Structure formats: C-alpha cells, structure tokens
Structure 1
Amino acid sequence: MKNRQPLFHVVKRDHAGPGRQAAAYVAAVVLALLVGAVLLMVQGVEPVTFYKQLLTMGIPGSRYPWRSVENFIKLFVPLLITSMALALAFKMRFWNIGGEGQFIMGAFWAGFAAMKLGGTLPQPLMVVVMALCGALGGGLYGVFVAALKVKWGTNETLLTLMLNYVALYFLQYFAETKTDWNFFLDPDSARPKFAKFPANAQMITIPIGPFNLNLSLVIAAVLCVLLYIYLNYTKRGYEIAVVGDSPNTARYAGMKVGKIVIRTIFLSAALIGLAGAFQVSSAGILSTSVTNDVGWTGVVVAWLAKLNMVGIVVASLLITVLQFGCQTASTTYPSIDANFANLLQGVILFIVLAADFFTRFRLARTRKEAAK
C-alpha cells in the first residue's frame, strides 16, 4: 500500500530581494487594473478614459481644482493616521480590528467637546481640546481590550471587532434620539439631525492663495516622522518588536510584557481617536458614517505596506487616490457606482497578497515514493 501524498508542496525560496518584491507588487497592481478594465468594458465604459479621470481626480479642467485637493486631504489624513496606529499594534502581534470603534469614540468625544465648549474657547485652543478628548476617548476604548488580554488572555480580535458595533450603535442612539438633553442634535430640525459645530470648533486651515491647507495634514506628517523614529530608534520601539516576535523571550529579557501591551495599545487607539477628532473637526459636524470605513481600510493599508511607516504613506496615498478618483469618475459614468473603488481595492489586495506569497515561496512537485 502506498502513502497518499499531495501533488505539490510549498517550498520557501532561498532569497527574495527588495527589487524582486517591488517588481512583483507593480505587476500585481497592473494585473488588478487589467481585471478592473475588463469589468469596466462589460459595463460599456472605456477603461483608459475612466482610469485617467480616476488618477487625476478630475482636477484638469476643473474651475476650482484646489477644492478637489482640499477634499482629498480630508480623506487622506484619517486613513494615514489610522493605518500608522494599527501598524503599531500589529507589530506587537496584537490584532486590533477595532479601528472603526476607536475612530467613532474619538469623533464622539471630540464632538462632545465642540458642542459644550465651542462657543467659549478660541479656535486654536478649541482644536487642541477636541484633539485631546478624541485621543483619550479612543485610547481608553482600546486599552480596555488590552487590559482584558493581559489579565485573562482574552481574544483581542473578537473583542475589538464586537466593540466596533457597540460604538456604532452608541453613536446612532444619539443621532436618532430627539430629546431636550441631546445637545448633539439641531433643535430647529423637525427630524433628528446632528447640529453643526460652532465656527471656532472647526479645523484650522492655512491659506495659500485660493487653497486652504488643512492643519491636520501637517500634524499627520509630523506623526509619521515621530512614529518612524519611535519604532526604529527608541527602547520602547525595540520592546514592541521583541514582544511581537516572542513574548517569552521578552519576559526572559526582563521586559514587563503586560505593561508594554497596554502602553502600546493605548497609543495605537489614541492615535485612531485623534484621527476621528480631526475628521469631525474638518467636517464641522458629527455623522453616523463619520469613519468612511477607515478602520477597515487601514488594516488593508498596514498589511500592504508590511507595517512599514514609509510604505504606509505610499499605500495610503494610492488607496485615497483610488477612492476619491472613483467618486469623481463615477459622476461622469452613471453606470459605475462609487463603490467600484472598494471592488478594485479588493482585487488589488488579493493579487498583491498572491504576489507576496510567490516571491517568498514556490510550488514544487512532490516525488512519489512507495510506503515501506
């Protein structure tokens, strides 16, 4: 009788340099765009023209091109900060899937500060207070799961996922409950509707000609540099890497693993809450769709960039161009839904993951051997 063996088995490649990986990623993106082109042609849309509008985001020929750039920044900044924050947790092998919930709680508490203090504080101080409230709200929402993980070894993936929906329904309660005590709602509206923030609770912008530079973009750039230094050149960044590789090794080296986990997850969730604060401050109003799904998209961005801060900037930029460009192009082509970006993003993700796999492994044919 012979042993039944698989026809192929996976073998690790000897060496996959960065040049080879980069080429594989470029080829994967091109292949994904070709798949998207086929889908576009099926719907009667000329792919080259559609992709041109997507990549240029409708700026050429626009009467007010700076407004497109301003709106692009409002989408880009929350995704960038959220992706960097999730990478912090993922480097430690703490699977924080709660970006949506932490973002919502950051936005909610920033909105709370705006509605309670917006008419009493000057704009610079008000923006700082909203940022602190958002960071604290998101940080505490995330550190709750970290504390349970450290104390009782609970599953952080399940808990953070469930808390996303708790936060969403919490926000929806305030959005749909029209009573005298609910100061979030517009008192002049017959139906429940969030009220706009006072003018001094809205994000500071720096005028550059007709273009208004959103201050959150400058802060996000500074955060990117600081996080890169934190992870690569500080003791605490080194501790995150060691705990991620092996908690037992970290304990053997004298590191307090529980303290490192709680500290890192608080920082991760606080940054996501800060992104939520920036989002509502830039929008000037709360919304039940405030996240724009950045909590989920941030996971994609972090993994596409392999948790590298520089890669996260590039991936966030490309994903935002894809999303914003699809929204712009869909106005020209009514047959194409704005959610085509999500479909194309999913295709890119799966093909890039496949490319990453085959740069590190290969399939080898199994030799048939008779059982003894």
Structure 2
Amino acid sequence: MMNRRSLLRAAGITATGTGALAAPALAQYAPQVRWRLTTSVPRSLDIIFGANELVSRYVSEATDGRFVIQNFAAGEIVPGLQALDAAENGTVEIAQTPLYYYVGKDPTFACFAAVPFGLNARQQNAWYWHGGGRELQESFLAKYGLVGFPGGNTGGQMGGWFRREIHALDDLKGLKFRIGGLAGEVMARLGAVPQQIAPADIYSALDKGTIDACEWIGPYDDEKLGFVKVAPYYYYPGWWDGGTVVNLVVNRGKWLELPASYKAVFEAAVGFANADMLAKYDARNPAALRRLVAAGAVLRPFPRSFIDAAFTETNALYAELGARHPDFGDILDALLRFRDEDYLWWQVGEYPYDTMMITHTHGSRLRNDK
C-alpha cells in the first residue's frame, strides 16, 4: 500500500544525502490548507465514499497534517446532484461526482464519466492518460472554473433492477426508469420515462412505485441499497456504463493557489484511489452477486433486439448533440476513435482470453443465469 514516504517521492519532495526526508524544509515553507469535499453519494456506499477518505488520509500524512481535506456526504452541505455546482461556485473546494449527472448543463460532461457504448474501465484510464483525454478535459472544465481528475472507476455496471421482465422493446413503453446521463435520453427514445434520482433516494422511489426500474452500479452497492427486495429482475449488461469514472473536480482558483508540492501529493493520492476503487469492486462484486441470487435476484440478459435498438438510437443522439454542441461533437469523436482503435487489440488479446477462461470455469456459473 502507498505510504507517506512514497507519496512524498511522487510529489518531488526529495530526501537529504543521509536518506532522511527533508521535513524541516516542508514544515518551514508549506502553508496550512483546509479544504472541504462534497460528494453525490451517501456514506453507506463505502467504496465510493471511502475513496475520498483515502485521498484525504494520504494528503494529510504526506504533508504532516498541513493540507487537510474534510469529507461530507451527499446532503450534508448540498444535495448530491448539486455537488459540481458547489465546487464551481466555491461553496466547497472539491466535488466527487460522476460528470454525466450534469448533461443538462452540457452533454460534453458525460464524455469524462461514461457514455453509452463507450469505453471500459481500462480504456478510460488509457484514453485519459495516454490518448488525449486529459488535455480535452482540462480545456473543457476550465470553462466552468474547474480542474478534474479520475478519482475512481466502478468497472462495468449492471443494467438494473426491474419489477417485471423485459422481453421486447414494447415492454419499455411508459416504464419509469431511474437512469442518469445520456442513457436516459436514449431510453426515452425507446419509449421509457427516465428519472434522475440521487442515490440515497432510489430505494424509496422504487419501493413506493414512483419508478418501475432503476440502475445504480453493480452487486456490491446494489445489495447495500436493497433493490432486490422490491424489483427481482436483475438485467445486464449496463451498455451505458462500460467503465464509469467517478470524477473529482476542484475549484480552479483554489487549485491554482496550491503549492506545486501539494498539487503533486494530491494527484498521487488520487491516482492511487482511482486504481483502488476498481480493485475493490472487482474483489467484492462476485460474493455480492451470489448473495443477491440467494436472496431472490433473477439474472437476465437484455434482449438482443433491445441492445441493437439502443445502439442505433445512441448513434442518432450523438449526431444530433454533436451538431448542437461543438465541444461534445469534437470530444466524443476523439473518444470513439480511441475506442474503435483500442478494440483492435481487445478482440485479439483481451476478449479471447476472458472468453476462454469463462468457458473453462463452469463451476462459477450461477443457477438462474440463463
């Protein structure tokens, strides 16, 4: 696990000739900084909220307690879906929030979290760090007075919980579905009625019948939120969330005020949290899925006709949005070019290996997974 010494090395705070850290210099010149972070999730979602705590701990330890970030859950300062606004207007210095929650401001935000039929988790990191994504994000977020970082990734997500089975496209007509981002617009084109509801309020809406279906992330978090109790059909795959980035956005003015060493410590801590979140989901989802099936979850793949129709409508939506929003068109084109090129390798290396291993581990199959 990364410790304070390794973070200091990553930040460029060098050791003395005898090998001791240059703590006196750090203490002498480093200012006392107190930041607040708000998130879009409740504390009960421990993997996502825990990423903030991880960043805060490493930042504090690496600066001998001189740079402190205090974490607040959704609703403790602002509602979950107002987290980005709070960072933009300076109510807080940092917001942890998937940027696709803010497509109402500009659909371009979704490009840096997840878009339907977009990138998987590894491709997200590759595009951001080595495919030009970081530069595109920096330029776009600057218009809103923000600086952004990938603060975690959920990996591939499930398609959600439904009260009734989905056999064909007609079953979507009028279906009230909690779903965010651009996927909601695609679902509307297919006849559903999308609802954007903050995580803490989803179960109540499903239980009361305000909505007919919902999607969140995957087994580990979905189990915590209790969806299996009121909507037994658990569909996959989440074609709108192939690898969702949980973004950290920082007020640009506050970021520019930080000393270079603090910026480097922060980026190193966020980089570790980004990798750690995906590792935790990969480690914890299998057992959670087994528990959900034992509790009555009925696994179902989305019908192929539904997936094909969603793909067609997604591309039509992209063309329309690109014509109205030049930033979206340019950035999405860059993302999709990267996706198509990267899958050249995946179809030769990654996918055949995974398929081979899945077919040779029959004992891992679940009873009602058809």
What TM-score, normalized to structure 1?
A: 0.26
- Which structure has the larger Rg over C-alpha atoms? 1
What TM-score, normalized to structure 2?
A: 0.26
